[in-house]
Amino acid sequence: MNASTVLVTGGSGFLGGALLRTLASQKEYSLRTALRRDCKSLPASVRAFNVPGLTPTVDWQAALVDVDVVVHAAARVHVMDEQSGDPLTEFRLINVEGTLNLARQAVKAKVRRFIYISSIKVNGESTVPGRAFTADDPFSPVDPYGISKCEAEEALRQLVSSTSMELVIIRPVLVYGPGVKANFLSMIRWLDRGVPLPFGAIVNKRSLVSLDNLIDLILTCFSHPAAANQTFLASDGEDVSTTELLMKIGRALNKPARLLPFPVAFMRLGAKLLGREAIAQRLFGSLQVDISKNLRLLGWVPPMSLDQGLNATVQAYLESQK
């Protein structure tokens, strides 16, 4: 049997790169990726196509020849130092128009299945404890990134409704794993250095997803017949408070988490005065997802526990420090 040909966009990114490495190790796929610049960490078996960014004018024809599955992981994500006076327009240009351009050409190339990596931000920014988001809840995006991902989802559904190409949408929560950057890496560093943190009395609940679990769900969606034209949320299936998460990371580091029980109300007020309300929401607010649809339709359960995922993440961090 001929190997399936898979195109992964964003192959130099955190998710895209890990997905390509996993697929390359299985030797069951002919692999392609699209990159803006050369990436030395790509597996040797991956054929790379250079593209000038995810713009609405990119010609994807060569990259899409004989492709069976597209995994669209590339996107314009949160920009820490946003320079644009109109961020929503910039997000729409890449995440909506750029995505639709790729999808239209995928239809013409007779791609069988288009897997779109969206975001839980399509559902919203927070949940009431005990009331988790589901994949079929009404949309409630707040920021420009979430709005653009929501609009891309809707446009993709409309596009494929009159074609034979199947669409699968996956909305991950916060993704962590070996090589994680940004705030998650900062937390590991703080705990590794023994920095006292004022996060010892937080009673929120948040869902996370390990890189391995997300990749396993994506692979399940490559060919499972029940995945066609469905939306799935991605998490580890275990929800923790920020305090519990920090304690688990501390245990993985084999170091005590030095957490001080500062009142959350005071920290929220301080964050508001400093214009850091979004950060406060991530630290102190709840965001839970219900992944029971994944089990019901796909028979999928996360193969890796939260503790296993955190241990793998921390071990990779420790190796990087040697």
Order of all β-strands in the sheet with 206-210: 174-176, 206-210, 239-240
For residue 276, count CB atoms less than 10 angstroms from its CB and return exposed for 0-12, middle for 13-18, buried for 19 or more.
middle
Residue from 308, 176, 179, 291 nearest 230 by CA: 291
Distance CA 229, CA 242 (A): 34
Distance CA 182, CA 219 (A): 26
What average pLDDT does range 134-146 have in this prediction? 95
Confidence of residue 72 (pLDDT cuts 50, 70, 90): very high
pLDDT of 83 above 80: no
pLDDT at 276: 87
In angstroms, the Cα distances linking 128 to 59, 206, 256 are 44, 11, 30
Task: Tell me if 54 sits within 8 A of 74, measured CB to CB.
Answer: yes
pLDDT at 82: 53
Q: Is 176 a catalytic residue?
A: no
pLDDT tens column, 224-282: 999 999 999 999 999 999 999 999 999 999 999 999 999 999 999 998 888 888 888 88
Spell out the residues 6+ positions from residue 226 whose beta carbon is closer than 8 angstroms to its own: 297, 298
- Any idea which of 79-88, 125-134, 190-199 has the lowest mean pLDDT? 79-88
Confidence of residue 308 (pLDDT cuts 50, 70, 90): very high
pLDDT of 80 above 60: no
Task: Tell me if 194 sits within 8 A of 277, measured CB to CB.
Answer: no
Confidence of residue 39 (pLDDT cuts 50, 70, 90): confident
Phi-psi region of 273 (alpha: psi -120 to 50; beta: other; left: phi over 0): alpha
Spell out the residues 6+ positions from residue 244 whose beta carbon is closer than 8 angstroms to its own: none
pLDDT at 199: 96
Token couple for 206: 């948040």
For residue 211, count CB atoms less than 10 angstroms from its CB and return exposed for 0-12, middle for 13-18, buried for 19 or more.
buried
CA 98 from chain centre, in angstroms, equals 18
The one-letter amino acid code at 55 reads T
CA 58 from chain centre, in angstroms, equals 23
> b/e per residue, 90-105, with b = 16+ CB within 10 A?
bbbbbbbbbbbbbbeb
pLDDT of 2 above 90: no
The one-letter amino acid code at 126 reads S
CA atoms within 13 A on the CB side of 297: 20
CA 115 from chain centre, in angstroms, equals 13
Token couple for 56: 């609405």
**How far apart are the two ends of the chain, measured CA to CA in Å?**
44
pLDDT at 79: 58
What average pLDDT does range 217-223 have in this prediction? 97
Q: What interhelical angle do 211-223 and 14-26 show, nearest 10?
A: 60
Mean pLDDT for all residues in the chain: 93
Task: Tell me if 214 sits within 8 A of 71, measured CB to CB.
Answer: no
- Any idea which of 78-92, 104-118, 286-300 has the lowest mean pLDDT? 78-92
Distance CA 168, CA 163 (A): 14
For residue 257, count CB atoms less than 10 angstroms from its CB and return exposed for 0-12, middle for 13-18, buried for 19 or more.
buried
pLDDT tens column, 174-216: 999 999 998 999 999 999 999 999 999 999 999 999 999 999 9
pLDDT tens column, 94-123: 999 999 999 999 999 999 999 999 999 999
Token couple for 27: 């030797």
Confidence of residue 1 (pLDDT cuts 50, 70, 90): very low
* Beta carbons within 10 angstroms of residue 113's beta carbon: 24
Q: Which one from 29, 145, 176, 317 is the annotated catalytic residue?
A: 145
